[in-house]
Structure 1
Amino acid sequence: MRTSGLTGRPWLDELLRGAAFAVLGLLLWWAAPEVAVKWRPDTTDLPPVGTAATIVAAAAGVVLRRRHPMLGLAVTVGALAVGILGTGHTPLGVLLCFCDALYHAVRLGSPRASWTVAGLAAAVAGVTSLVSLVNAGGRAALVTFLNLVLLLAVPVFWALEVRRHAETAEAERERAEQARRLAELDRAAAVGAERARMARDLHDVIAGKLSAIAIQSEAVLSVPDPDPPILRKVLTSVREESVAALTEMRAMIGLLRADGSGDADPRTAPAGLDRLDDLLATARSTGLTVTVEDRRDGGELPAAVDLAAYRIVQEALTNAAKHAPGSAVSVTLARTEGGLVVEVANPLVADAPPGGGTGTGLLGLRERAAAVGGTVEAGPEGDRWRLRAELPVATKVGSRS
């Protein structure tokens, strides 16, 4: 409900507007009583109290114009009928109230009621002008027609035009809201698909680690009297695999807590930076010139970070092939104190062909990086496009001595 207005209370605002119309009508009648619409040559005057009551009654219809527009119009039509059927003339204040009530009835009424009122107004104007032409001649018919244009046509056409603009604006708002909801659904689907693919990859990694633990444990149990150094070595390996599997399991659980549906990609072995050469070969086959600066120390990365880094490089090279075909792309991998930094840069191409993407690729990269506690930043930097990802790498838990 709208609360804007003079007082913030709709009913009180309408009551004040009705009072303003009544005061204005009474002042016009007092200052210029001869200013009125004459409906026929022979006119009679009501007592002052009767004229004032007619103006106040018409103003009462203004009070109802928003909450009950059709009832408000009926009240002002009753006040107007006093002049048409009784005295033969109508004070200007009553006409103002009628025009306002007619406008709001067409503007705020239901579509069916609005067009019914507009049709009745046209019918009344036509019939009245025709009757005036037959009974009083052309001059009187012309005067009647002009009066009816001011009285009926202007409020009706004005209200219809305002209503049309309001309905068009409302339809545009609905379309914009629908587009926003579809965009949110697309983003949610992209995030869900990325989470499902990451969880699937991590599942394969965890399954491999648990299988190694089972094999090593079974090997130790099958030996009747294992050598202590060998036993210690096997248990050390089992502990390291268990800790690594636990870390990956926590990452997978975090992904599966969010709703999302998997994509239709076939199940494959989890990709990592050890397959970076294959990825670079694919990018070069599209026409890109790819240079790599690998400043890692060669230490093992957690599987989740390794998968995230691989996917980030893969998506960045795909975007470069779309938006900067044939350009030189630089890929930088560096280990820092806090983790792994991945940076991919390519020159901005002014006349690059449209990629046709939906923007969900970058969203998926950010989701993947966030899943391992990292961040992704992408955007123009001077004359090049740069993507930088920082992925934290926790200190590996060693074995006890």
Structure 2
Amino acid sequence: MDRGRFRVPAATADGAAALGVAALQLGSGLSGPHPSGWRALLGCVLLAAGGAALAARRRAPQAVLAATAACAAGWLAAGFEVLAVSYLVAVYGAVRAGHRNAAVAVSAALVAVLHLTAPAVHGGPLREVVAQARGTLELAWLIAAFAAGEAVRQAERRAEQAERTREETARRRADEERLRIARELHDSLTHQISVIKVQSEAAVHVARRRGEQVPPALLAIRDAGREAGRELRATLEALRADGTAPPPGLGDLPGLVERFRETGTGSGTGLEVTLTIEGRPCPVPAAVGRTAYRIVQEALTNVARHAAAGRAAVVVDHRPGLLAVRVDDDGKGAPHPPTGAGLGLLGMRERVTALGGRLHTGPRGTCGFSVRAELPVDGAP
């Protein structure tokens, strides 16, 4: 069972404690010797006010400390000999919050006030006056409240330090794991991709020198090798970075489109790619920008490899609370592997669904294929 689900809010607990202390002090004051007339009314008001002030002890511990001290001095002056429970709780809260000097200063001032005002209010021998003041405040309880607050403060401080240590350890382990993955990728994939790129580019070069027609499959292998090399370099840079490098987003779309233009021209496919920004451009959450970038990247990759298209249009539309991304081409209407082995469209759908958006894919009329994504901007992670 999840116990955190039944946890009482701090404000509710403080309010209940304040009402309990106020009732306790009122009950103690009325059950023992107490004055009559306006002094009785004033004392009851101060007893209740001293307890009620504890409702704000977490938000304003020093103000509550001063208020409860004033109430305690007031009800003593009115003739009530009641243990200042509210002040003891306020001392505990102030020390727990780290205001030890304030607790000591206010306590010393309160003791002095009680000893100075008691002769004028009660009269009688000095020993009896001191006994009355000590009974009101009970220095032993005051010291106990101070010690308890300090002990809890130290325990919370150690818990915070332990939590920070755990977070730093987890962050360090994550950095070490990231670097290990980067080394593994570099050692295992970089060489293989480089071999594919060099061999495919050499084969294309030799075929063109001989005046032979370059097979489309060979061109696709060369282009895939180039793109894989770029992606691997970007991945290694991100893994080796300290985590502050921003992920690709909307600002990287022009460069992405330009790379596909260069790839298309170099491969002889003649793919023409355009980028259009509609609406009023505004900053979007990093997750939305990254998803839009990956959708355009995957869609253009599928167009270049499988659609046999001559043109592709990328449209980014900034709408109120929504970012719409559309990639259209004039190809044969199936920009994904016919074998069903590719996971491009599935990956797009998973990314869009994770943000609470919608993805539409399908043929465009008589020819071409369209990928449309609507990504909510408000509330995105």
- TM class, shorter-chain normalised? 0.3 to 0.5
| TM-score of the two chains, using structure 2 as the length reference | 0.48
Which protein shows a greater Rg? 1
Bigger RCO of structures 1 and 2 (CA < 8 A, at least 6 apart): 1
